[in-house]
């Protein structure tokens, strides 16, 4: 499903085009909230930068497209795809999983869309309340990092033509993936690819 959010219209909320990652954090947590109602929360993760994982399998993805005029953030189109009733996937899709495969149940997609919208509404209000209060701490980012896929575990990443092993530490307030090996590293969206 796709939703339109208008961050620029929220006076005093502290959301800016220069700092769009809090919106991504909010949406990812809402998807996690929704999905973990049906799949166990301790087996549901947010994979940086924009995927929903159950165990080591992809359950969904998020894409946020921002519309701007100059430096004014007009609105964001939030696209969310979560596997609900699928049991067969194209061979090109790596490690997919659906709620039906996890639970054995059939779901009403329209009803689940309403539930997901409610979860998004809750997290969006939490985001606005936190930013309006100008908190130094970011409880949403802290929670995002708690639910981060492979946190404190070694993973293989690819940058350009080099594949290397590094340990996921977390995600920064700017949305950078933080890792550590012989170096402490920061990666922006699109800079590295996960090797599964």
Q: Tokens representing 110?
A: 């329209």
Pick from 15, 25, 5: which is nearest to 131 by CA? Answer: 15
**21 and 89 co-located in one domain:** yes
CA 107/CA 105 separation, integer angstroms: 6
**142 and 166 co-located in one domain:** no
Neighbours of 147 (CB within 10 A): 20
Three-class secondary structure of residue 52 per DSSP? strand
- pLDDT of 18: 60
- pLDDT of 41: 84
- pLDDT of 12: 46
**37 and 99 co-located in one domain:** yes
**104 and 188 co-located in one domain:** no
Pick from 172, 162, 149, 147: which is nearest to 193 by CA? Answer: 162
The answer to whether the Cα torsion of 78, 84, 88, 91 is positive or negative is positive
CA 154/CA 158 separation, integer angstroms: 13
Q: What CATH number does the domain containing 39 carry?
A: 3.30.930.10
Mean pLDDT by groups of 10 residues along the chain of 196 residues: 75 58 93 95 94 96 89 87 95 92 96 97 87 63 96 96 96 95 94 90
Give the range of the structural domain holding residue 169, as residue numbers without chain letter: 154-195
Q: Would you say the pTM of this structure is higher than 0.85?
A: yes
Residue that has been written with the tokens 């920061």 in this structure? 186
């Amino acid at each position: 499903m796709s939703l339109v959010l208008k961050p620029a219209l929220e006076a005093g909320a502290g959301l800016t085009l220069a700092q769009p990652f809090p919106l991504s954090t909010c949406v990812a947590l809402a998807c996690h909230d929704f999905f973990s109602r049906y799949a166990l929360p301790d087996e549901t993760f947010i994979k940086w930068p924009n995927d929903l994982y159950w165990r080591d399998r992809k359950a969904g993805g998020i894409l946020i497209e921002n519309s701007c005029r100059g430096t004014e953030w007009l609105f964001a189109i939030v696209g969310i795809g979560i596997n609900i009733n699928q049991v067969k996937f194209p061979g090109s899709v790596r490690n997919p999983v659906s709620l039906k495969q996890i639970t054995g149940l059939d779901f009403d997609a329209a009803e689940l869309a309403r539930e997901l919208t409610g979860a998004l509404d809750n997290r969006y209000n939490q985001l606005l309340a936190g930013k309006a209060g100008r908190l130094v701490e970011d409880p949403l980012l802290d929670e995002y990092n708690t639910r981060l896929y492979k946190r404190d575990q070694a993973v293989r990443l690819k940058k350009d033509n080099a594949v290397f092993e590094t340990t996921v530490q977390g995600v920064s307030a700017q949305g950078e993936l933080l890792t550590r090996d012989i170096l402490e590293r920061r990666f922006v969206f699109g800079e590295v690819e996960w090797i599964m």
